[in-house]
């Protein structure tokens, strides 16, 4: 069965529209050329990068590519990753690896992009711990080819690559044309490989869990304390109203000091209830927020 074109995929159309709204006005002359080892940080969201010869992440080094970066590869060029690559885009600003003839990102091109236009992304064995998130790989020979299983793809879109979309440790992965695909080594596999689980875990998982559990405790504890505080407030309010009554018996038995204590007790209970409700709201907002990263 023939794979659908990336231009007809609803996922690709969504990503293209977002990219168009946020970054697009790419002209052939408005590019920065790249070749050889990359700097520690590659900025994104400005000009596209024209790759004129192989770019690389050197062994023992870490390179971070910022969201919105676009790489236009010339024929016979590719991306060699020997160190650790952190390429984490967003839905609004994906990181794009494509042909210099891709008209979506190179508006002045006079040629049509085709599969096999450039080599692809090659992750070497020592590049374990590399992470690619919201990346798009188009018109290469083999998409992403990794010699190590200790990488994370979460998620990426592959389309119009010549031979394969994704190969990990000589194993082809069933990537659907133009649809997001995610990959992470399981904990069991990591133990079998004898490596730290931290290499395959979501790097934000610890932070997310700390915020999530703390927020859940605030939400639950604040709600329980608010109920208790409100019950206390009702009692102190009733007591204050009774001591504020202008009936003859109360005026003769309730002293000014007792009335002021009843008022203070009511105010304290009201403040306690309000504070607990506030903590509960903060906990609810924090809990929801942890699902956004």
Question: CA dist 293 to 63, 162, 196, 197, 208, Å?
Answer: 21, 33, 23, 20, 8
What are the 10-residue block averages of pLDDT along the chain, 293 residues in total?
52 55 44 94 91 96 96 97 95 96 90 97 92 97 94 94 95 94 75 57 66 88 89 88 77 79 89 90 86 65
Query: What burial letters (b/e) apply to 205-242, b meaning 16+ CB within 10 Å?
Result: eeebeebbeebeebbeebbebbeebbebbeebbebbee
Q: What does the pLDDT read at residue 247? A: 77
Residues facing residue 121 across a β-bridge: 79, 144
- As beta bridge partners, residue 191 has none
pLDDT in the model for residue 202 = 55
Closest CA to 172 of 196, 193, 151, 142: 142
User: Radius of gyration over alpha carbons of the chain, in Å?
Assistant: 30
The whole-number pLDDT of residue 242 equals: 82
3-state DSSP call for residue 235? helix
pTM of this structure: 0.60
- Range list of H helices, 146-204: 187-193
User: What phi and psi, each to the nearest 5 degrees, are found at residue 248?
Assistant: -60, -45
Q: d(Cα 118, Cα 139) in Å, to the nearest integer?
A: 7
pLDDT of residue 6: 55
pLDDT value for 46: 78
How far CA 243 is from CA of 170, 215, 232, 240, 269, in Å, comes to 83, 40, 17, 5, 17
């Amino acid at each position: 069965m023939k794979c659908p074109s990336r231009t007809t995929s609803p996922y690709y159309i969504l990503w293209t529209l977002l990219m168009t709204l946020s970054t697009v006005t790419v002209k052939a002359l408005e590019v920065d050329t790249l070749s050889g080892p990359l700097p520690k940080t590659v900025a994104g969201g400005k000009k596209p990068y024209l790759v004129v010869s192989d770019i690389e992440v050197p062994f023992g080094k870490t390179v971070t590519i910022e969201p919105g970066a676009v790489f236009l590869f010339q024929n016979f060029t590719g991306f060699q990753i020997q160190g650790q690559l952190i390429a984490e885009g967003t839905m609004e600003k994906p990181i794009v690896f494509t042909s210099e003839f891709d008209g979506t990102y190179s508006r002045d091109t006079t040629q049509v992009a085709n599969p096999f236009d450039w080599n692809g992304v090659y992750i070497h064995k020592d590049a374990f711990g590399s992470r690619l998130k919201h990346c798009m790989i188009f018109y290469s020979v083999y998409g992403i080819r990794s010699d190590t299983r200790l990488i994370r793809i979460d998620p990426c879109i592959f389309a119009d690559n010549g031979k394969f979309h994704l190969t990990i440790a000589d194993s082809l992965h069933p990537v659907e044309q133009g649809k997001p695909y995610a990959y992470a080594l399981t904990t069991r596999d990591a133990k079998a490989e004898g490596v730290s689980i931290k290499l395959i875990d979501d790097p934000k998982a610890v932070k997310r869990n700390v915020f999530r559990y703390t927020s859940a405790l605030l939400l639950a504890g604040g709600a329980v304390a608010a109920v208790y505080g409100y019950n206390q407030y009702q009692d102190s309010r009733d007591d204050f109203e009774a001591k504020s009554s202008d009936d003859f018996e109360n005026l003769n038995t309730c002293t000014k000091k007792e009335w002021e204590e009843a008022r203070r007790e009511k105010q304290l209970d009201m403040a306690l209830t309000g504070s607990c409700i506030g903590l509960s709201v903060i906990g609810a907002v924090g809990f929801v927020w942890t699902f956004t990263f």
